Amino acid sequence: MNVIIAAAGTGGHINPGIAIANKIKEKEPDSKIIFIGTPRGLENDLVPRAGYELKTIDSYGINRSISLDNIKRLFKTIKSIGDAKKIIKEFKPDVVVGTGGYICVSVGMAAKKCDIPIVLHESNAFPGMAVKLLSKKADVILTGFKEAKDRLPKAKNVVVTGTPTKVQKLNMSEMQQLEIKTKLGFKEELPLVFAYGGSQGAKSINESLIKIIKENRNKEYNILWATGNSGYEEITKTFEKEGINIENISHAKIVPYIYNMEEILNIADLLVCRSGAMTITEISNVGKPAIFIPFPFATENHQEYNAKVLEKVNAAKIILDKDLTAEKLDAEIKSIVKSKKNLIQMGKNAEKIKVLDVQEKIYIQIKAVQKHK
């Protein structure tokens, strides 16, 4: 099977594309797969690193305001449809798969002109503009959440498959978990709160945690805090001004980035984070309670819709970014971690939205579209 995967911009679009590609190669090792992205996004690092060829076109997301820059972007995006068409004609795919983001519009339009079946995957609970625009043209739209299905009334065929991710629940003993916590420097067996905001960090979360730690509010819980690579140095200097050594803070371990994410998500008692689709999927997979601070500038406010998926089953609490303060976050953390029974129940509730055999379900739908070509 020859497959083109359109994925660009963020890891939330690219990583599901790579997971789908890996599944196809696992099932059909002779398959040929290439990615189409832009010259600007994370795909330029992640796709070659995963062992796949990346071809680029100059496609852009279009803002809803009228400006010279927006008009230029529009013309470049229209031209990129022709560029995608050339790649499609040369590669001759059996199927084109899009995993969300503006790149899908250019590649999807080109695939339609070439009469190639289109499979779209939408990770978010509130579908993005690209998926909405292509909903009539796609042969099937696969969604991460059932809530997205109701928001695609014009689609021909929508199937809830879940979102592919490597993070899964690990069968770890209490002793194994304690060993990891000890290595991190946590001596007291207090509840572990893991706070993170992605590779770039989250400014509002970081500012609240600085105040919580400076005021020594976290005596009843430990904090493992991944600041994001860009914020770590600035946060270190902020603490230095207060005479606090970032390497030696009671009940807190502060790092720029977490590389063993699966392991840390499994040992944490409570998560404090943004609510991207991949994050929601990972949290439901490991079965953990969370406090979400949705990114307020996400397109169509989709992060708040994502967070509500877990809030609805009593697995999470939501604090809007505009309402976030150190006092409010600290009070919410304490209200959740004070009861071990509550933590366990919220974790079990999170698993209620977990979807099993995600990659297999996606592969089956791709094969079905190929057979009906």
Res 41: pLDDT: 85
State the Cα–Cα distance between residues 36 and 164, nearest whole angstrom. Answer: 19
Paired strand residues for 226: 196, 255
Radius of gyration of the chain, Cα coordinates, nearest whole angstrom: 22
Architecture of domain 2-163+356-371: 3-Layer(aba) Sandwich (3.40)
Any idea of the CA torsion for 277, 1, 109, 150, to the nearest 10 degrees? -40
List, for residues 60-71, the tens digit of each pLDDT value.
Answer: 665 656 677 666
Reading the block at residue 185, the tokens are 């420097």
Q: Which band of pLDDT confidence, cut at 50, 70 and 90, is reported for residue 189?
A: confident
Look at residue 333 and tell me whether its pLDDT is greater than 90. Answer: yes
Task: Compare 305 and 76 and report the one with higher pLDDT.
Answer: 305
How far is Cα 52 from Cα 31, in angstroms, rounded to an integer?
A: 12
Residue 310 CA to residue 248 CA, distance in Å, equals 35
Q: Which CATH number fits domain 174-353: 3.40.190.80, 3.40.50.2000, 3.30.450.20, 3.40.630.30?
A: 3.40.50.2000
Q: Do domains 2-163+356-371 and 174-353 have the same CATH topology?
A: yes
Do 164 and 359 meet the contact criterion of CB atoms below 8 Å apart?
Answer: yes
pTM: 0.86
User: Interhelix angle for 277-286 vs 302-311, to 10°?
Assistant: 20
Residue 163 has pLDDT above 90, yes or no: yes
Per domain, the residue ranges of the chain are 2-163+356-371, 174-353
pLDDT digits (tens, 9 = 90+) for 254-278: 999 898 999 999 999 999 999 999 9
Of 164, 176, 143, the closest CA to residue 15 belongs to 164
